[in-house]
Structure 1
Amino acid sequence: MKIENKTGAPPLLPRRFYKNVQVAPVAGESAGSAATAPAAAGEIVAEIAMEQAACPHFTILLDGRPVKTPARRPLIVPCRALAELIAEEFRAQENTVNPALMPVNRLANTVIDGLSANQQPVREDILRYSAGDMVFYRADSPRELAEKQAQGWDKVLDWAWEIMEAEFQAGTGVMFISQKPEALAAVSAYLRQRLSPATACTPFALAALHVMTCVSGSALLAFMVESGALAVREAWQLAQIEEDWTMAQWGQDAEAAQRRAGRERDFYAAAAVLTALKAE
């Protein structure tokens, strides 16, 4: 039922939760000046205040106050582009803050509060996914689904062989497919090569890669996006081949659609983090 506005007053617009969202470098006088810069009087929409100082780390100021993680650590990231992504998420908050709609901020919190101090479990989890990657397991029927999987996923295996020299086996059914130790060793070597522990960006890139792997069920698809071999949109479509086919046959309920939208949001956000880290 539509409720008419009989007061004659203009409809209420969503209120930005934060009036001022600033990205500020963390160092010396430039960081101090960014933190104390006053907001324009009466400003309602959030704005990004960018400092031009040469500084490798950045934080976000919300109405002049620096953001902290759930563990009360300063939220500091290694590049401007990543800070901008987080700031944009804060800018989009209306009336209340919804962490579910802030996947980049959640990823940064995870890195700062835990992953940065111990990366090895996350690396090992990615390697576990690669040993049982989604693209190895195909349907034997119906024929249409099997053909879609072969058309989309065979090129992923071809890429793994061409780039990693990892020869993987695909099959039908749900039984575990044992892969050659040489193939798994090649993936481990590739991961070490792509994500060196020596850089400040590494924990963030590792976290983004892990999110994409877990959301899609495929470490290989995540590797292809990270390397630039596959666009994020195509990677997401390849990850959803079976679900899309099932949905086309039987439809999709609202709850399933909501879960999928959340996974897609996280997948695209993680890919955006990888792009931001390479932009500096």
Structure 2
Amino acid sequence: MRRFWNHAVAVARPEGGHAVLLDGRPLRLPGGAPLATRSAALAEAIAAEWQAAGGAKDGEMSMEEVPLTRLLGTAQDRVAADPAGLVEGLVRYAETDLLCYRAEDPALAVTQAREWQAWLDWAAAAHGAPLVVTEGLMPVAQPAESLARLRDALAGRTVEELAALGLAVPVLGSLVLGLALAEGRLAAEEAHRLASLDETFQETRWGEDAEALDRRARGAADVALAERFLALVRA
């Protein structure tokens, strides 16, 4: 896309909430609806990313330069249409939550128990959702009551919060870590470090792989974006 605007600004909408104007025209979603948010802080941040977009490439820009816009657009255009569908998709991550699967390698298993168990304990205490831990990769059934409690923990969230979780949880492979991030109990960097425990342990033995490092960096950026988006939505 080539930059076609000079000024991006956040404004209050007469009908409530906030929008972003590009040279006085509302920033719109692909379907035509104006992008809107209840958060003045998020609208300001989106205006800032559009003001900066295209500045480094002679006016050429890509949507990679406006990640907050993409995430709010996902919330408004997709999640709002079927929040229950996303909730069910997120609950499925709890059915095979990363934190529940411990390695057969004793050294790695000890590290996993030390780093992960506290967050499973937190899920049990904070959400009434104890999860079963197993060794190896064979699937283990999780208590239906625990899954129902985690579903309840998601069902009351806004579409913006669900969109952020929809970005972070697949990267983390853990609904427990995702909820801890969303509730401010874990910072994005630490959540991603915990989710990468197996990879980083293997790297100490076999060395680093450039492709894996690149993939992990992209994942870390997505989790950090989800954290920032949540903070702006709630500001």
When normalised by structure 2's length, the TM-score is: 0.88
- Note the C-alpha offset of 1:123: 0.7
CA RMSD after TM alignment: 2.1
CA distance in 1, matches of 2:64, 2:203: 25
Q: Is 2:167 aligned against 1:211?
A: yes
**Contact residue 166 and residue 183 of structure 1 kept, 8 A:** yes
CA distance in 2, matches of 1:107, 1:19: 23
**Contact residue 120 and residue 130 of structure 2 kept, 8 A:** yes
- Note the C-alpha offset of 1:98: 2.4
Match of 2:29 in 1: 69
Match of 1:260 in 2: 216
**What is the identity, as a one-letter code, of the residue corresponding to 2:224?**
Y
The total of aligned residue pairs comes to 229
Q: Indicate the larger mover: 206-215 or 241-250.
A: 241-250
1:150/1:117 Cα in 2 relative to 1: closer, same or farther (>3 Å)?
Answer: same
CA distance in 2, matches of 1:251, 1:203: 41
Match of 1:250 in 2: 206
- Note the C-alpha offset of 1:225: 1.4
1:237/1:101 Cα in 2 relative to 1: closer, same or farther (>3 Å)?
Answer: farther
Q: Deviations over 1:140-183 (max 9, x none)?
A: 11x33222211111011110111112121111111101111121
Q: Deviations over 1:34-57 (max 9, x none)?
A: xxxxxxxxxxxxxxxxxxxxxx41
3-state secondary structure, aligned to 1:72: coil
Match of 2:123 in 1: 160
Match of 1:190 in 2: 153
Match of 2:104 in 1: 140
Q: Is 2:203 aligned against 1:240?
A: no
Q: Mind listing any 5+ residue stretches in structure 1 that lack a counterpart?
A: 1-15, 29-55, 196-201
Match of 1:276 in 2: 232
**Contact residue 167 and residue 183 of structure 1 kept, 8 A:** yes
Structure with max Cα Rg: 1
**Contact residue 189 and residue 220 of structure 2 kept, 8 A:** no
3-state secondary structure, aligned to 1:60: strand
Flag the structure with higher helix content: 2
- Note the C-alpha offset of 1:258: 2.9
Q: Mind listing any 5+ residue stretches in structure 2 that lack a counterpart?
A: none
3-state secondary structure, aligned to 1:225: helix
CA distance in 2, matches of 1:217, 1:135: 9
Please identify runs of 4+ aligned residues in structure 1 that moved more than 6 A: none
**What is the identity, as a one-letter code, of the residue corresponding to 1:112?**
Q
- Note the C-alpha offset of 1:18: 5.6
Q: Is 2:70 aligned against 1:106?
A: yes
Aligned counterpart in structure 2 of residue 84 of structure 1, from 44, 47, 67: 44
